[in-house]
Amino acid sequence: GGHRIRVPQAARGHGKKLSDVLDLEPGVEYEGEVAKPDDDDLTAMHVFNLLADGMGGVNWSGLPLICGWLGLTDVEGLMQRLSVIKLHRKPEKGK
């Protein structure tokens, strides 16, 4: 079988809301209460996109450069959010 990767325990508190945001379909208007990303979530999504290599991987070696460029100091919180983004899978349609 394949290796199972788990989000670190500390990241689970950030993960639910961020996962809900990642599940939203672009261009679809939702009624009712919809998860909204906070500034830290938006920053993590931006950093993830900057580090993405285009083949499903992440160029982690660029993280110190990006953190310095953006002036980020909460690297642990960022790493937790990046883990949630990297490991997130949208639910299958119809389930």
Q: Say if CB 80 and CB 68 are below 8 A apart.
A: no
pLDDT-derived band at 90, boundaries 50, 70, 90: confident
pLDDT-derived band at 38, boundaries 50, 70, 90: confident
Residues near 59 by beta carbon (within 8 Å), at least 6 away in sequence = 51, 52, 53
Rounded Cα–Cα distance for residues 30 and 84 (Å): 23
Give the model confidence (pLDDT) of 42-58 as tens digits.
999 999 999 999 898 89
Q: Say if CB 51 and CB 66 are below 8 A apart.
A: yes
Helix (H) or strand (E) holding 87: helix 75-87
Residue 1 token pair:
């079988």
Enter the pTM of the model: 0.70
